[in-house]
Structure 1
Amino acid sequence: MRYVVLLLLILLGFNATSQVLRKRTVRLMGSRFDITLVATDFLSAERNIDTVIAEVTRIENLISDWKADTQISQVNKNAGVAPVRVDPEVFALTERALHFSKITNGAFDISFAAMDRIWKFDGSMTEMPSPEAVRKSVEKVGYKNIVLDREHSTIFLKRKGMKIGFGALGEGYAADRCRDMMLAKGVKAGIVNGSGDMSTWGKQPDGSDWTIGITNPLRNDTVFAVVPLRHSAIVTSGSYEKFVVFNGKRYAHIINPSTGYPATGVSSVTVFGPSAETANGFSTSLMVLGKDAGLKLIKKYPQYSYILITDEGQIFFSPNLGLKQHSL
C-alpha cells in the first residue's frame, strides 16, 4: 500500500522538491485573462486559479460600468442627481484614478466612459470627424466634475449624462490584487495577465526569470527586445493595428479625453514597476501626452521604468533596463 500511495503522489504531482506550472485562459471583465501559477502540485494550482477567477469576478461586480447592478453603474445612473455611497475599495480606486488625472492634467480621465465613439479604427473611416463633432464628443467628460466625499465614502458626478469607467485600469488593479492574494497564500510564483496588464512574482519552475518580448509596433510580427521581468508588473499601450492615417498623420486608437482627438506621435509605451494599476495609468497617459511631456512625467517616478517608441521608430527607455540604443 505504501508503494501504491507513493506512486499516486508522484502521478498527481505531489513532490516536495518539484514544481509544476499551470495556466488557464478565461474571459473576465470583458477581456482575456491568462492566469499562470507555479505550485508543488496540479490540484492546488488549479484551486488557486479558481480563487483568482473568483476574485476578479468579485471586483468586476463592484466596478463594471456595463453591468447594471454594480456600484459604479449606480454612480453613473445618479449623475447630476445625488451622491452614491460605495465600498471603501471602490472609493480608494476612484481616488487613485483622480490622482492620475491631476498629475497628467486630464490626459488620463475615468470619465472618458461618457465619450461619444465618433472615431472608428476598423477601417470604415474615410474622413476625419468635424471639429464640432469632436468637441461635442467630450462634452460630458471632465474629471473635475467628479466629487469624492471621503467621510461618507460617496462619489458624485456633477453633470447629468456623465459616466465613469475604469477600463484597463480596473484590470491592472485586479491583477495586483490577485498577485497579493496568491503571495499571502504562499504561492511563490505566477503571472496574472489581464489583457496585457500583467502582475508577476517569483520565478519559473526552472529558476529562471519570467520574460516578455516587446513587439515592434511598425512590424507587429517581430520582437525587438526580450526583457526579464524582475519587476512586479508590466503594461503596454500601443496603437499597433488600431490606428487611422489622415493627411499622412497617424492617429492611435487611444483618445485624449480632454480634446477628443486621438493620440499622435507615439506608437507604443511599455511601463514596468511594482503595480499593474499604476503602470497602466502611466502607459495610457504617455500615449496621450506624447514623448516630451510623457517622459518628463514618468521620470519623476523612479520606481517605474519605460520603453517608448515613436511613430518614426525612435526608441526611448529607462537606463536600468539595459537595452541598446537604436531605432526600428
Structure 2
Amino acid sequence: MCVAFLCLIWPAKLSAQVTVKRVLTLMGSRFEVTVVERDSMSAAKCIDTVAAEITRIENLISEWRPHTQVSEVNRQAGIKPVRVDRELFSLTQRALQFSRLSGGAFDISIAAMDRLWRFDDSMTELPAAAAIRQSVAKVNYKNIILDSVASTIYLAEKGMKIGFGSIGKGYAADCGRTLLKSMGVKGGIVNASGDLSTWGTQIDEQPWRVGIKNPRKGNKMIAILKMREASVATSGSYEKYVEFNGKRYAHIINPKTGYPASGFISVTVYGPSAEFANGLSTSMMVLGARDGEKLLRQFPAYKAVWMTDTGRIKHFR
C-alpha cells in the first residue's frame, strides 16, 4: 500500500467544532487519525481509544510478533490445527474467498515465499528461474484448512505461513471507523498508510476530499474523490522496484509464479470497505488490466482508477 499516493484536501472554512488529526506509528506503519469533535480534549480521547484498538488488532494478526495467534498458526504448520479467535477466523475466511475469486492472484500464504527479490538497492542480478519457481513452493491457499465448528486454522504443509500484510491495514481502518462511529464521533478518517476509511463530513458539512496523485507526476492529481461513508485503497509498483536490462521489476509478487506483477503502475479501488478495496487492488495488480477489470465488475459497489505500465489512465465507474 502506498502512503504517498493519497492526499487529503482540507476545507478553508471552519465551524464551532474542531478537526483534530494525529499521526501515529501503528502496525509498523504511519497512521493518521482525524476526527471532528466538539473540542480538542474529546477528540484526543477518541484518538487514544482507536489507537488502542488498532494495537489490539496487531497483537492478534501480526506474523512478526511471536505471541500472536497467527504466529502460532505458522509454528504449527504441518503439525496440528490451532484454535483462534472468531475475529481472526473470519478474517482468514474472507481472505480465502478473495483467493478463490481471483484464481490465486491474492494469497495470504505468500508469507512463506522465499525472499529472493529485494527492493533496497542490494540486488545485483536477477534470481535464477529455478530459484524463483522454488520460492513459491509453500504458497498455496488451498492448503489453508479451516474448521468453522472448532474455529481452527491448519496449514497442511510444514513450512507454510500466512500473513495479513495485504488486507490487515484496511481491516484496521474499517475497525477504527466502526469504533469511532459507535462512540458518537460524527465524522472523521482512519488512514492506515494509504488504506483509509471515512465517515460523516468535514466541519463545513462538505464531504471529505481525497486526491489520487499521479505516480509519474507527483504534483498532479488523477482524480479527487468526494467521500462520506466510504473507503479507498491503493496498490502500486512505482515506489519499490529494481531494474535490470531496462525492465522494471516491482515489489508486488504474483503468488503463483514468484515473479513481480506487471501491467499496472497503480490501482486505486474505492467503495464501502477498505479491507475489501485492499483485496481488490492487490488482486488487480497481479491479474493485469483485462482480468483485473473482469474481477472488479463482479462488485458494483466498488469503483477504481488505475494507470497501466504504458501510462494510460482509466476511471472505472
TM-score above 0.5 = yes
Instruction: Please give the alpha-carbon distance, in whole angstroms, between the structure 2 residues aligned to 1:263 and 1:220.
Output: 22
Matched, 1:137 2:148: no
The aligned counterpart of 2:248 is 250
The aligned counterpart of 2:72 is 74
The aligned counterpart of 1:47 is 45
Matched, 1:195 2:189: no
Instruction: Please give the alpha-carbon distance, in whole angstroms, between the structure 1 residues aligned to 2:121 and 2:73.
Output: 34
2:180 maps to amino acid: M
Q: Is the 8 A contact 1:250 1:265 kept in 2?
A: no
The aligned counterpart of 1:60 is 58
Q: Is the 8 A contact 1:255 1:262 kept in 2?
A: yes
| Helix, strand or coil at the partner of 2:221 | strand
1:157 maps to amino acid: L
For residues 183-236 of structure 1, what are the alpha-carbon distances to aligned partners after superposition, in whole Å with 9 as ceiling and x for unaligned? 111111000011111011111111222111212122334333222224510001
The aligned counterpart of 2:159 is 161
Instruction: Please give the alpha-carbon distance, in whole angstroms, between the structure 1 residues aligned to 2:257 and 2:166.
Output: 20
1:93 maps to amino acid: L
Q: 1:181 aligns with which of 179, 182, 188?
A: 179
Q: Could you tell me how far 1:178 is from its partner in structure 2?
A: 1.1
The aligned counterpart of 1:97 is 95
Instruction: Please give the alpha-carbon distance, in whole angstroms, between the structure 1 residues aligned to 2:306 and 2:283.
Output: 12
- Name which structure has the greater RCO, CA cutoff 8 Å, separation 6+: 2
Q: Could you tell me how far 1:30 is from its partner in structure 2?
A: 1.1
Q: Is the 8 A contact 1:203 1:209 kept in 2?
A: yes
Q: Could you tell me how far 1:317 is from its partner in structure 2?
A: 1.4
Q: Is the 8 A contact 1:231 1:272 kept in 2?
A: no
TM-score (norm 2): 0.93
The aligned counterpart of 2:294 is 296
| Helix, strand or coil at the partner of 1:167 | coil
1:113 maps to amino acid: A
The aligned counterpart of 1:309 is 307
Q: Is the 8 A contact 1:35 1:192 kept in 2?
A: yes
For residues 229-248 of structure 1, what are the alpha-carbon distances to aligned partners after superposition, in whole Å with 9 as ceiling and x for unaligned? 24510001101221223343
1:309 maps to amino acid: M
Q: CA RMSD in A?
A: 1.3
1:107 maps to amino acid: A
| Helix, strand or coil at the partner of 1:270 | strand
Instruction: Please give the alpha-carbon distance, in whole angstroms, between the structure 2 residues aligned to 1:86 and 1:125.
Output: 38
The aligned counterpart of 2:168 is 170
The aligned counterpart of 1:127 is 125
| Helix, strand or coil at the partner of 2:167 | helix
The aligned counterpart of 1:29 is 27
The aligned counterpart of 2:16 is 18
TM-score (norm 1): 0.90
Instruction: Please give the alpha-carbon distance, in whole angstroms, between the structure 1 residues aligned to 2:301 and 2:228.
Output: 12
Q: Could you tell me how far 1:77 is from its partner in structure 2?
A: 0.6
* Greater radius of gyration (CA): 1
Q: Is the 8 A contact 2:19 2:203 kept in 1?
A: yes
CA pair 34-169 structure 1, distance change in 2 beyond 3 A: same
Instruction: Please give the alpha-carbon distance, in whole angstroms, between the structure 2 residues aligned to 1:250 and 1:103.
Output: 28
Which aligned segments of 4 or more residues in structure 1 are displaced greater than 6 angstroms?
none
Instruction: Please give the alpha-carbon distance, in whole angstroms, between the structure 2 residues aligned to 1:299 and 1:105.
Output: 15
2:66 maps to amino acid: A
The aligned counterpart of 2:144 is 146
Instruction: Please give the alpha-carbon distance, in whole angstroms, between the structure 2 residues aligned to 1:212 and 1:99.
Output: 29
Instruction: Please give the alpha-carbon distance, in whole angstroms, between the structure 1 residues aligned to 2:219 and 2:126.
Output: 29
Matched, 1:284 2:282: yes
For residues 167-189 of structure 1, what are the alpha-carbon distances to aligned partners after superposition, in whole Å with 9 as ceiling and x for unaligned? 14111111101101111111110
Q: Could you tell me how far 1:41 is from its partner in structure 2?
A: 1.0
The aligned counterpart of 1:259 is 257
Structure 1 residues not aligned, in runs of 5+: 1-16, 320-328
Q: Could you tell me how far 1:29 is from its partner in structure 2?
A: 0.9
For residues 256-275 of structure 1, what are the alpha-carbon distances to aligned partners after superposition, in whole Å with 9 as ceiling and x for unaligned? 11110001110000000100
The aligned counterpart of 2:232 is 234
Q: Is the 8 A contact 2:166 2:282 kept in 1?
A: no
Q: Is the 8 A contact 1:173 1:276 kept in 2?
A: yes
